[in-house]
């Protein structure tokens, strides 16, 4: 009896609660100076007409709401000084709530609803399940563990909520009209339960408008218009069973929970909610899936085309410049590009090779075989400049050029067609017109690379020989120049133009390079890739906004659930974590599906011949972006949810 008389468990001093008043509306005084002491182990009924302020009083007693004025001492300490975590601790460890409307979480089973307070108290899962099952069995619901609330009758739901109130010990049970929604039989059963709990030493505060129900308590307090107008006083027979010292417990911090358990719990709850709302979740996911997939596919296409351009650059020789005379002057000897011009060109910096070319179609004869072919007189540097190796023999040398040697190198196809039965054409003689030429080499097959087999139907000989003996022309038809540094090719081309302009006085030549045209094409493709990527990024953003929208809706829809969680002892960060986990889980699933879809679409495009290169970086980035958007857009609604006042959240429809 000493513990009971020492200090009241709950003491209210001149407690007041007003509503309104700030926004111009007249303030409503709901509680007008309540003084009340409740000792440990009491079974109290608070009775009064509807609207007299009973629920308001209970919400304040249970720390779901704060008074406007006056003091609330719990075990001697002023509750007003408690921070949010401490209040959560109090709700979790000291109180157990039973509401008229049951307030069960609709997406969770009976057993999971009962387990809820223990989750926030950090009880490991096996013990939690076992205890919840035992409590439900004690209340006659052993067969109903896995039923969702909507599958239970009102009486059964109320028993589930009583089991939940007892889960963490239920030292103080606060019951607001617990029988209000029940038929008389179920109501009587619930009252019987309260009697048993009172006998077991639980402190019970029962709120009712029904005098008959109130009369069953050991102490009856009557309220009217926010004031206590009657109190039967503490029953003389104080509780037989001592309760653990709450004062000591209240001073300690909540137990540290393992983050892995917390995360698993949050993920499980999040998954449940996603599954229950799977249609809506799927629609949200669609936005993210499309966003991620399009980012991946666009990047792959961009990379693929870029690679193709690079390959083209390699094939066509990005280090080459071409120059030819144009217009009137090209037909006037001495006014076209001359060998003296070329000597000056060779002295320009960055130019490594200058190949003058003179070309034309001629008939080539071997034995009695005549073939029309493309004859090209060129420089000794050709195999190196055009990276075109020989298949047999050797290429002609600078000395051959100087001496106007009558030597020829055959293209791969020409060699085969001109002398099909000769195993090695090297050493054979061919005739062009009446001039004999000795075959000294055969080029490797070039058409196999470019797809143009005509490239192999040609005959190469020294530029000087071709000019003198085949074409009767001293000036090159066109000139190929190789540069050392491709990065400076544009500068070199400008220098070349300036040089020729100085020598000729007029622009009677044209100069070009493969790199310029390929680079131009590459840049248009780059622009296209960038635009496509932008579209992809925008769709990812739209997906993120979808997540935010759903999160906002979810929070609004589930405000009452948040209230229930807060009432059972969830801290703000538990709520925040849960909603964030949901957002991240949605985006994780969406992101993974997006990567899958992106790869599938990419593979299909590849099969259709679109050049495509998957980039792991792009996949990770798109996936990461999706999850980040989820976090970002999920955070604000989640924070809003976490900061809700329990009583506000609970009273939402
Ligand atoms: P009871 O539970 O005894 O029926 P309540 O405590 O629910 O009474 O309400 C008491 C009075 O306070 C009622 O007149 C009600 O209209 C008013 N009230 C309750 N909550 C609010 C609120 N959030 N804003 C304004 N008035 C409120
Ligand atoms: Mg009420």
DSSP string across 586-619:
HHHHHHHHHHHHHHHHHHHHHHTT------HHHH
Could you give phi then psi for residue 354, rounded to 5 degrees?
A: -130, 115
* Inter-residue contact 27 to 55 (CB < 8 Å): no
Does residue 335 carry a pLDDT above 70?
A: no
Return phi, psi of residue 362, to 5°.
-140, 160
* Residue nearest (by alpha carbon) to ligand 1 atom 10: 53
Q: Is the pLDDT of residue 180 over 90?
A: no
Using alpha carbons, select from 63, 54, 62 the residue that is nearest to residue 225: 54
* Percent of all residues in the chain with a pLDDT value above 70, rounded to a whole number: 89
Of 56, 225, 648, the one to substitute when testing ligand 1's pocket (max ligand atoms within 8 A of C-beta) is: 56
Atom of ligand 1 nearest to the CA of 58: 6
Residue 54 CA, closest ligand 1 atom number:
3
Distance of CA 575 to the CA centre of its chain: 22
* Top mutation candidate among 22, 23, 28, 228 for ligand 1, by most atoms within 8 Å of CB: 28
**What is the pLDDT at residue 2?**
39
Most confident of 239-248, 436-445, 448-457: 436-445
- 529: pLDDT confidence band, cut at 50, 70 and 90? confident
The answer for residues whose C-beta is within 8 angstroms of residue 35's C-beta and 6 or more apart is 12, 13, 14, 15, 228
How confident is the model at residue 517, as a pLDDT? 64
Phi-psi region of 39 (alpha: psi -120 to 50; beta: other; left: phi over 0): beta
Nearest residue (CA) to ligand 1, atom 19:
56
Lowest-confidence pick of 80-94, 114-128, 404-418, 535-549: 535-549
From the CA of 167, how far away is ligand 2's center (Å)? 24
Q: pLDDT tens digit string along 359-400?
A: 889 999 998 889 999 999 999 998 888 888 899 999 999 999
| Mean pLDDT for the stretch of residues 181-196 | 89
d(CA 437, CA 278): 82
- The confidence score (pLDDT) of residue 373 equals 92
Residue 333: pLDDT band with limits 50, 70, 90: low
Residue 45 in contact with residue 19, Cβ under 8 Å? no
With the most atoms of ligand 1 within 8 angstroms of its CB, the residue from 15, 31, 51 to mutate is: 51
Q: How far is CA 183 from the centre of its chain?
A: 51
Domain ranges (residues) in the chain: 262-310+520-650, 327-507
Number of neighbouring beta carbons within 10 Å of residue 248: 9
Is it the case that residue 643 has pLDDT exceeding 90? Answer: no
Q: What is the pLDDT of residues 55-68, one digit of tens each?
A: 999 999 999 999 99
Greatest pairwise CA separation for the chain in angstroms: 140
Position 388 scores a pLDDT of 85
If you take atom 26 of ligand 1, which residue's CA is the nearest one? 19
Q: Is a pLDDT exceeding 70 seen at residue 579?
A: yes
Rounded to the nearest 10°, the torsion over CA 548, 550, 554, 555 is 20
Which sign, positive or negative, has the C-alpha torsion 501, 503, 505, 509? Answer: negative
For the residues 479-489, what does the mean pLDDT come to? 83
Which-ligand-closest: CA of 57? 1
Let me know how long the chain is.
653
Q: Is 594's pLDDT higher than 70? A: yes
Average pLDDT over residues 477-492: 84
Highest-confidence range of 301-310, 520-529, 589-598, 619-628, by mean pLDDT? 589-598
Question: What pLDDT, on a 0 to 100 scale, did the predictor assign at position 331?
Answer: 53
What is the separation, in whole angstroms, between the first and last Cα of the chain?
44
**Predicted local confidence at residue 600, as pLDDT:** 94
Quote the pLDDT of residue 191: 92
Distance from Cα 97 to the centre of ligand 2, integer Å: 14
Report d(CA 338, CA 507) in Å as an integer.
Answer: 14
pTM: 0.66
Separation of CA 554 from chain center:
20
Taking the C-alpha atoms of residue 321 and residue 354, their distance in angstroms, rounded to an integer, is 10
Lowest mean pLDDT among 12-16, 229-233, 299-303, 453-457: 453-457
Q: Give me the pLDDT at residue 522, please.
A: 67
Of 25, 12, 57, which Cα lies nearest the Cα of 224? 57
The predicted model gives 173-187 an average pLDDT of 89
8 Å CB contact between 111 and 145 = yes
Which of 20, 49, 53 has most ligand 1 atoms within 8 Å of its beta carbon, as the pocket-test mutant?
Answer: 53
pLDDT at 249 over 70: no
From 411, 377, 383, 413, select the one nearest 395 (Cα to Cα).
383
Quick check: 246 pLDDT over 60?
no
Q: Rounded mean pLDDT of 433-442?
A: 93
> What confidence tens digit (pLDDT) does each residue in 278-311 have?
888 888 788 888 888 888 888 888 888 777 766 6
134-138, 466-470, 522-526: segment of lowest average pLDDT? 522-526
In the reported structure, the alpha carbon of residue 56 is separated from the centroid of ligand 2 by a whole-number distance in angstroms of 7
The confidence score (pLDDT) of residue 238 equals: 53
C-alpha 207 chain-centroid distance: 49
Residue 566 CA to residue 88 CA, distance in Å, equals: 7
Output the residue whose Cα is nearest ligand 1's atom 14.
Answer: 51
**The pair of three-digit structure tokens given for residue 318, joined into one six-digit string:** 């990005």
Residue 113 exposure: Cα atoms within 13 Å on the Cβ side? 32
- What pLDDT does residue 203 have? 93
DSSP assignment, residue 66? -
Asked if pLDDT for residue 240 goes beyond 60, the answer is: no
Residue 98's φ and ψ, nearest 5 degrees, are -130, 120
Q: Distance between CA atoms of 450 and 602, rounded to whole angstroms?
A: 26
Q: Are 58 and 174 in contact (CB under 8 A)?
A: yes
In 3D space, the residue among 559, 566, 558, 567 whose CA is nearest the CA of residue 58 turns out to be 567
Distance from Cα 240 to the centre of ligand 1, integer Å: 36
pLDDT at 135: 92
Q: Examine the pLDDT at 163 and tell me if it is beyond 70.
A: yes
pLDDT greater at residue 365 or residue 330:
365
Cα–Cα distance, 534 to 540 (Å, whole number): 10
pLDDT at position 123: 85
Helix (H) or strand (E) holding 185: helix 184-199
Looking at ligand 1, which atom is closest to the CA of residue 56?
6
**pLDDT of res. 313:** 61
Output the pLDDT for position 241.
46
Tell me how far CA of residue 613 lies from CA of 21, 292, 533, in angstroms: 66, 16, 15
pLDDT grade, residue 550 (50/70/90)?
A: confident
Q: What is the rounded average pLDDT of the residues 508-533?
A: 73
pLDDT of residue 515: 67
Ligand nearest to the CA of 31: 1
If one counts every other C-beta atom within 10 angstroms of the C-beta of residue 329, the result is 16
Report residues whose beta carbon is within 6 angstroms of any ligand 1 atom.
Answer: 19-20, 28, 30, 48, 50-56
The number of the ligand 1 atom at minimal distance from the alpha carbon of 223 is 3
Long-range contacts of residues 151-159, Cβ cutoff 8 Å, at least 24 apart? 152/110, 153/186, 154/102, 154/181, 154/182, 154/183, 154/186, 155/182, 155/183, 155/185, 155/186, 155/189, 155/190, 157/102, 157/104, 158/98, 158/102, 158/182, 158/186, 158/190, 159/189, 159/190, 159/193
Per-chain mean pLDDT for the chain: 84
């Amino acid at each position: 009896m000493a513990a009971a008389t020492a200090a009241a468990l709950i003491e209210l001093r001149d407690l007041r609660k007003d509503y309104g008043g700030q926004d111009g509306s007249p303030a409503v005084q709901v509680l007008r100076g309540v003084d009340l002491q409740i000792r440990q182990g009491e079974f109290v009924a608070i009775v009064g007409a509807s609207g007299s302020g009973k629920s308001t009083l209970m919400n304040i007693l249970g720390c779901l709401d704060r008074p406007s004025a006056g003091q609330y001492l719990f075990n001697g300490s002023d509750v007003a000084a408690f921070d949010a975590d401490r209040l959560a601790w109090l709700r979790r460890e000291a109180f157990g709530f039973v509401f008229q409307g049951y307030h069960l979480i609709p997406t969770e089973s009976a057993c999971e609803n009962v387990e809820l307070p223990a989750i926030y108290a950090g009880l490991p899962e096996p013990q939690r399940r076992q205890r919840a099952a035992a409590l439900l069995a004690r209340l006659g619901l052993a067969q109903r563990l896995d039923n969702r609330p909507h599958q239970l009758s009102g009486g059964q739901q109320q028993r589930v909520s009583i089991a939940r109130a007892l889960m963490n010990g239920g030292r103080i049970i606060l019951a607001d009209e617990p029988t209000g929604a029940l038929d008389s039989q179920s109501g009587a059963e619930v009252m019987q339960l309260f009697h048993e709990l009172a006998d077991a030493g639980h402190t019970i505060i029962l709120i009712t408008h029904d005098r008959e129900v109130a009369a069953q308590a050991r102490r009856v307090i009557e309220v009217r218009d926010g004031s206590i107008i009657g109190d039967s006083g503490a029953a003389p027979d104080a509780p037989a069973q001592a309760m653990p010292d709450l004062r000591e417990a209240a001073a300690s911090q909540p137990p540290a929970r393992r983050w892995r358990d917390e995360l698993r719990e949050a993920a499980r709850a999040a998954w449940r909610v996603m599954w229950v709302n799977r249609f809506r979740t799927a629609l949200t996911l669609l936005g993210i899936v499309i966003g991620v997939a399009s980012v991946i596919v666009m990047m792959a296409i961009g990379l693929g085309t870029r690679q193709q351009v690079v390959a083209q650059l390699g094939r066509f020789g990005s280090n080459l410049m071409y120059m030819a005379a144009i217009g009137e002057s090209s037909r006037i000897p001495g006014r076209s590009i001359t060998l003296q011009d070329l000597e000056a060109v060779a002295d320009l910096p960055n130019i490594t090779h200058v190949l003058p070319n003179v070309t034309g179609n001629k008939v080539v004869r071997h034995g009695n075989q005549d073939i029309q072919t493309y004859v090209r007189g060129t420089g000794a540097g050709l195999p190196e400049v055009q990276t075109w190796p020989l298949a047999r023999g050797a290429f002609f040398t600078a000395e051959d050029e100087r001496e106007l040697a009558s030597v020829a190198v055959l293209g791969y196809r020409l060699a085969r067609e001109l002398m099909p039965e000769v195993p090695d054409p090297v050493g054979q003689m061919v005739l062009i017109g009446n001039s004999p030429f000795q075959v000294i080499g055969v080029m490797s097959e070039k058409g196999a690379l470019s797809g143009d087999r005509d490239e192999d139907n040609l005959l190469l000989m020294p530029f000087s020989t071709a000019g003198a003996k085949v074409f009767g022309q001293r000036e090159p038809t066109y000139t190929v120049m190789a540069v050392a540094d491709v990065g400076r090719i544009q500068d070199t081309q400008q220098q070349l133009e300036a040089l020729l302009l100085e020598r000729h006085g007029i622009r009677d030549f044209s100069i070009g390079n493969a790199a310029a045209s390929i680079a131009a094409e590459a840049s248009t493709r780059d622009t296209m890739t960038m635009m496509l990527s932008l579209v992809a990024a925008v769709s990812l953003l739209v997906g993120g906004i979808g997540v935010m929208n759903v999160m906002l809706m979810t929070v609004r829809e589930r405000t009452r659930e948040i209230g229930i969680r807060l009432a059972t002892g969830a801290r703000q960060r538990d709520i925040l974590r849960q909603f964030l986990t949901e957002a991240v889980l949605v985006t994780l699933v969406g992101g993974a599906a997006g990567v899958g879809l992106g790869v599938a679409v990419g593979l299909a495009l590849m099969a259709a011949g679109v050049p495509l290169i998957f980039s792991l970086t792009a996949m990770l980035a798109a996936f990461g972006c999706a999850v980040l958007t989820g976090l970002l857009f999920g955070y604000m609604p989640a924070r809003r949810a976490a900061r809700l006042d329990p009583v506000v959240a609970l009273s939402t429809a």
